[in-house]
């Protein structure tokens, strides 16, 4: 933080612009410390408030517009590319789509306050078919709320920020390495948990060839499509006979299916983590014969197995 303040005092607007731009483009450059530091400098009349607001807003516009048009032309490919940066890419895809399904363009207003979603919502908005003018209007409001909020917080607590900086400076390098160690432990924990989950369910997975053979042999199997509604609207192709339910609906609702029936779940996840988590969730609900589909809908299409265009509701059993 001390270096952040020193940089801003010497270079002012350009440093704030670069920090916001890199953060909004998805690089590991946290913008909030720069905004807080800029607010503290504004309070001490060392940085003009209009300069701080203006350069930050322009940086947001450039990054968000870039992602918007990439999302319009790249669709799911761009979203998955961004989500690969996340520790849990499948959860990132699902969470972002569910938020956009629920809130629509209003998600743009709050995305910057939600870690991990700031660079993901603009391409999702672009892929949804929204006009650029409408997106820009929402983005202007959302970016302004984000920028002004942290500038005001930094301005109000400028004295406290100085005290924190003095404390951190007093600790020296040990504080930096301690925080770095905590981050490394957290990342390692998430990585180990994710791989453990995949290992637990690897044996239980079913291949598309196995599923196709079972269906062809007349076995009664319930198939659940777990994709978000917005993704299904973009690409309505599902496995023939599959039912569509979102993860939230499964988590909060009750499946009206016999618990001893074979149940196959699939999504369009980069690493099938969502399918694996849902399989665990369903097992806790009493469905002991649930299996994630290896490769998901993409693997099914590659084999040219039967698909349908419209999902159907789950029938009462």
The CATH number that applies at residue 271 is: 3.40.250.10
| Confidence band for 278, pLDDT divided at 50, 70 and 90 | confident
State whether residue 291 is helix, strand or coil: strand
Contacts of 285 (CB under 8 A, 6+ apart): 254, 255, 259
Same domain, 151 and 218: no
Same domain, 25 and 159: yes
pLDDT tens string 131-179: 999 999 999 999 999 999 999 988 887 776 665 555 545 545 565 566 5
Same domain, 70 and 128: yes
Separation of CA 105 from chain center: 16
Same domain, 155 and 196: no
Last residue of a domain, one of 171, 189, 212: 171
The secondary structure of residue 130, as a DSSP letter, is: -
pLDDT tens string 280-304: 778 777 787 888 888 888 889 889 9
- pLDDT surpassing 60 at residue 130: yes
State whether residue 277 is helix, strand or coil: helix
Q: Rg for the chain (alpha carbons), in Å?
A: 24
Same domain, 190 and 254: no
314: in domain: no
317: in domain: no
Same domain, 103 and 236: no
283: in domain: yes
Q: Which long-range CB contacts under 8 A does 227-233 form with residues at least 24 apart? A: 227/97, 227/267, 227/268, 227/297, 228/93, 228/94, 228/97, 228/98, 228/100, 228/101, 229/97, 229/101, 230/97, 230/100, 230/101, 230/124, 230/128, 231/76, 231/97, 231/268, 232/311
Same domain, 88 and 211: no
Query: Could you tell me the maximum CA-CA distance found in the chain, to the nearest angstrom?
Result: 77
Same domain, 164 and 216: no
pLDDT tens string 56-66: 999 999 999 99
pLDDT confidence of residue 315: 46
pLDDT confidence of residue 289: 83
Section 48-71 average pLDDT: 91
- pLDDT surpassing 50 at residue 266: yes
pLDDT confidence of residue 175: 53
30: in domain: yes
CA distance 309 to 307: 7
39: in domain: yes
pLDDT confidence of residue 54: 93
pLDDT confidence of residue 235: 78
Q: What is the pTM of this model?
A: 0.57
Summary mean pLDDT of the chain = 77
Domain that holds residue 96: 2-171
pLDDT confidence of residue 241: 86
Same domain, 242 and 190: no
Last residue of a domain, one of 130, 149, 171: 171
pLDDT confidence of residue 231: 75
Same domain, 162 and 187: no
The strand pairing partners of 184, in sequence order, are: none
φ, ψ (nearest 5 deg) of residue 82? -65, -40
Same domain, 14 and 147: yes
pLDDT confidence of residue 85: 57
What is the total count of domains within the chain? Answer: 3
Last residue of a domain, one of 123, 149, 171: 171
φ, ψ (nearest 5 deg) of residue 99? -65, -45
Question: Higher-confidence residue: 8 or 118?
Answer: 118
Same domain, 11 and 155: yes
Section 100-123 average pLDDT: 80
Question: b/e for 20-54, b at 16 or more Cβ within 10 A?
Answer: bbbbbbbeeeebbbbbbbbbbbbbeeebebeebbe
Q: Per mean pLDDT, which of 10-24, 117-131, 132-146, 249-263 is the most reliable?
A: 132-146
Section 3-12 average pLDDT: 57
């Amino acid at each position: 933080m001390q270096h952040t303040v020193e940089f801003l005092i010497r270079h002012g607007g350009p440093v704030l612009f670069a920090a916001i731009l890199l953060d909004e483009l998805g690089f590991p450059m946290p913008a909030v410390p720069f905004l807080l530091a800029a607010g503290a400098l504004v309070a001490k009349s060392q940085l003009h408030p209009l300069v701080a607001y203006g350069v930050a807003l322009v940086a947001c516009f450039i990054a968000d517009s870039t992602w918007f048009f990439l999302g319009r032309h790249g669709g799911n490919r761009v979203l998955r590319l961004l989500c690969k940066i996340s520790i849990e890419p499948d959860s990132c895809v699902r969470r972002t789509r569910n938020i956009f399904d629920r809130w629509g363009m209003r998600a743009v207003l709050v995305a910057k306050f939600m870690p991990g979603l700031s660079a993901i919502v603009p391409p999702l908005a672009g892929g949804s078919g929204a006009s650029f003018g409408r997106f820009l209007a929402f983005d202007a409001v959302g970016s302004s709320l984000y920028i002004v909020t942290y500038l005001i917080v930094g301005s109000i607590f400028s004295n406290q920020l100085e005290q924190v900086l003095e404390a951190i400076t007093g600790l020296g390098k040990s504080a930096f390495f301690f925080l770095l160690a905590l981050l490394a432990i957290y990342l390692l924990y998430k990585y180990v948990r994710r791989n453990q989950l995949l290992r637990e369910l690897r044996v239980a997975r079913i291949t598309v060839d196995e599923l196709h053979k079972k269906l062809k042999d007349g076995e009664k199997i319930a198939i659940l499509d777990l994709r978000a509604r917005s993704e299904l609207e973009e690409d309505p192709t599902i496995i023939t006979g599959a039912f569509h339910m979102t993860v939230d609906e499964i988590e909060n609702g009750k499946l009206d299916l016999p618990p001893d029936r074979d149940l196959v779940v699939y999504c369009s996840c980069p690493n099938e983590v969502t399918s694996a988590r849902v399989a665990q969730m369903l097992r806790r609900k009493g469905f002991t014969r649930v299996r994630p589909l290896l490769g998901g809908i993409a693997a099914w299409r590659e084999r040219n197995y039967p698909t349908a265009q419209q999902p159907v509701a789950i029938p009462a059993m």
